[in-house]
A and B are shown apart, each in its own frame.
Chain A
Amino acid sequence: MNNAMLRTEGLCKAFMLHLQGGVRIPVLSQIDLDLHAGECVALVGPSGAGKSTLMRSLYGNYRADVGRILIRHGGSMVDLATADPRVIIAVRRQTMGYVSQFLRVVPRVSALDIVAEAAMARMHTLATARGAAAALLTRLNIPARLHALPPATFSGGEQQRVNLARGFIGGHPILLLDEPTAALDPANRAVVVALIREAKARGIAIVGIFHDAEIRDAVADRLFAVTPWQDAA
């Protein structure tokens, strides 16, 4: 039980909208999630239940109000809910990767370098990082002629595949996948399924939101239900 890679304890998250007269919108309530090495947990629940909010909270992008988010980082457990920003940055660099639905492009940086930069955390030279980046992009059917271009002009599907390559190349022990296949065709979805399975085989722990039931069934070891907030009143 205590060899979890990621564990939340009583995690609660609400949004206080000051601009709307201080309305408080509760989203997550008492989330207890466990994630172990080599397994893939799929978050399920109706739209608006808070699956993405939970993912973002796990990544430290959203601030947890109550509860703990424990991450196995560098041999000890770190609570992201209270960690110093610099610790969160270190966790993201070394321990936990995140593939969002949309690629936030950096102006002028080529697709290859976006991916290679993510690989630099564990590779020693830019050349090896670029080599690995090119191989992964090619595997995700991004033709070599596009590697040198900034992805700003790419299609939605191409951008998402660049994003996936960036997420998978880092080799983080924990990977968060938010709708990784939403804009992909069947051939590329199959590549992603293979990448997830290979990652699990290497012991990487994955939390994912998979819109596509077929893919979810193909990769998830178990499901974790995120239920809409129950009005206490």
Chain B
Amino acid sequence: MSETTLLSARGVSLSFGAIQALVGVDADLWPGEVLAIVGESGSGKTTLLNVLSGRAAPGTGAVWYRTPDGQLLDVHTMPAPALRRLHRSDWGFVHQDPRQNLRMGVTAGGNVGERLMAQGSRHYGHIRDAARDWLVQTEIDPKRIDDLPRTFSGGMLQRLQIARTLVTHPRLVFMDEPTGGLDVSVQARLLDLIRSLVARFGIAVVLVTHDIAVARLLAHRTMVMQGGRVVETGLTDQVLDDPQHAYTQLLVSSVLNA
């Protein structure tokens, strides 16, 4: 394969006191690829997501991101303004709790439009059109564009967060348990929405989940983490149907019909 990686991590380790949260993790992500990081609570998967996205600095090791013009940036040594710029344009971050990302006192339209305005969009009509378009894309009634998020259901809030994140057409989105805490029926709808949006716009995703079914539905490749280490990585259906590592076998066997 001739194309180059979008994001690469090498030898990433991080300790919190005596606790080793990450031990020598390598990871690669190619453009348009969905990579799932699975594991139980405390396996280091969320810490890894934070390190990959520049939100937490590793103790040792490095993470590189390749810009659209082919420049290779070290995520943890680049200037803070540049990283911030990445986070509000090329990158996106979808939190498990949408309230962490949304502005609950700002209308749905304002929430979706913020990233556009942060990028310098100064035409109210265009911002509003884009917001309306993204509400439709995320299956929110565009009539609710001027409603406050606090009047939205949990599933709608999560879809609003996705609209807010994708409005700038990011190339890379980090997702932390995007369907956690939602009812099963709401989860299914959201997963399908994420799946189709990611495929339609060719977005690369690093997805952290404890739910193997989510990894199977969304991810091309899956990394299995245990105790801060990557114990197995590969094609998602291969990892889940023919797990090699004892821990992966345990993880897969504890789920019904994953």
Cβ proximity bits A179-212 to B, threshold 8 Å, 1 near / 0 not: 0000000000000000000000000000000000
Interface residues of A (CB under 8 A from B): 15-19, 56, 60-63, 84-89, 106-109
**Contact assessment for B1 and A109 in the assembled complex, using a CB-CB cutoff below 8 Å:** no
Q: Which chain B residues in 217-235 approach chain A with CB under 8 Å?
A: 217, 220-221, 234-235
Q: Which chain B residues in 137-196 approach chain A with CB under 8 Å?
A: 188-189, 191-192, 195
Q: A85-B221, A107-B192 are in contact. Are A63 and B238 (CB under 8 A)?
A: yes
Q: A61-B237, A106-B217 are in contact. Are A86 and B1 (CB under 8 A)?
A: yes
Tell me how far the C-beta of A60 lies from the nearest C-beta in chain B, rounded to whole angstroms: 7
Give every chain A residue within 8 A of B246 (Cβ-Cβ).
18-19
Bound state CA distance, A85 and B195, in angstroms? 19
Give every chain B residue within 8 A of A89 (Cβ-Cβ).
220, 235
Residue of B nearest to A16 (CB): B244
Bound state CA distance, A209 and B50, in angstroms? 46
Interface residues on chain B, size class = 20 to 34
**Contact assessment for B253 and A19 in the assembled complex, using a CB-CB cutoff below 8 Å:** yes
**Contact assessment for B234 and A85 in the assembled complex, using a CB-CB cutoff below 8 Å:** yes
Most chain B beta carbons < 10 A, residue from A15, A88, A107: A107
B249 at the interface (CB under 8 A from A): yes
**Contact assessment for B192 and A63 in the assembled complex, using a CB-CB cutoff below 8 Å:** no
Tell me how far the C-beta of B110 lies from the nearest C-beta in chain A, rounded to whole angstroms: 29
**Contact assessment for A88 and B250 in the assembled complex, using a CB-CB cutoff below 8 Å:** no
Residue of A nearest to B199 (CB): A117
**Contact assessment for B30 and A86 in the assembled complex, using a CB-CB cutoff below 8 Å:** yes
**Contact assessment for B191 and A63 in the assembled complex, using a CB-CB cutoff below 8 Å:** no
Cβ proximity bits B240-257 to A, threshold 8 Å, 1 near / 0 not: 011011100110010000
How many pairs of residues, A versus B, come closer than 8 Å at their CB atoms? Answer: 53
Bound state CA distance, A203 and B245, in angstroms? 40
Q: A61-B241, A106-B192, A108-B188 are in contact. List 16 more A-B contacts (CB 8 A).
A: A16-B244, A18-B245, A61-B237, A62-B241, A63-B238, A63-B242, A85-B234, A85-B235, A86-B30, A86-B220, A86-B221, A87-B1, A88-B235, A88-B238, A89-B235, A107-B188
Give every chain A residue within 8 A of B1 (Cβ-Cβ).
84, 86-87
Tell me how far the C-beta of B216 lies from the nearest C-beta in chain A, rounded to whole angstroms: 8
B33 at the interface (CB under 8 A from A): yes
Residue of B nearest to A57 (CB): B242
Give every chain B residue within 8 A of A19 (Cβ-Cβ).
246, 249-250, 253
Residue of B nearest to A104 (CB): B216
Bound state CA distance, A61 and B246, in angstroms? 18
Give every chain B residue within 8 A of A107 (Cβ-Cβ).
188-189, 191-192
Bound state CA distance, A45 and B191, in angstroms? 40
Bound state CA distance, A85 and B191, in angstroms? 22
Give every chain A residue within 8 A of B30 (Cβ-Cβ).
86
Bound state CA distance, A107 and B193, in angstroms? 10
**Contact assessment for A62 and B33 in the assembled complex, using a CB-CB cutoff below 8 Å:** no
Give every chain B residue within 8 A of A106 (Cβ-Cβ).
192, 195, 217
**Contact assessment for A108 and B249 in the assembled complex, using a CB-CB cutoff below 8 Å:** no
Bound state CA distance, A131 and B216, in angstroms? 29
Tell me how far the C-beta of A78 lies from the nearest C-beta in chain B, rounded to whole angstroms: 11
Give every chain A residue within 8 A of B250 (Cβ-Cβ).
18-19
Give every chain B residue within 8 A of A63 (Cβ-Cβ).
234, 238, 242, 244
Residue of A nearest to B3 (CB): A86
Q: Can you report 15 A-B residue pairs in the complex whose CB atoms are below 8 A from each other? A: A17-B249, A19-B246, A56-B241, A62-B242, A63-B238, A63-B244, A85-B235, A85-B238, A86-B1, A86-B33, A86-B220, A88-B235, A89-B220, A106-B217, A107-B191
Bound state CA distance, A18 and B231, in angstroms? 14
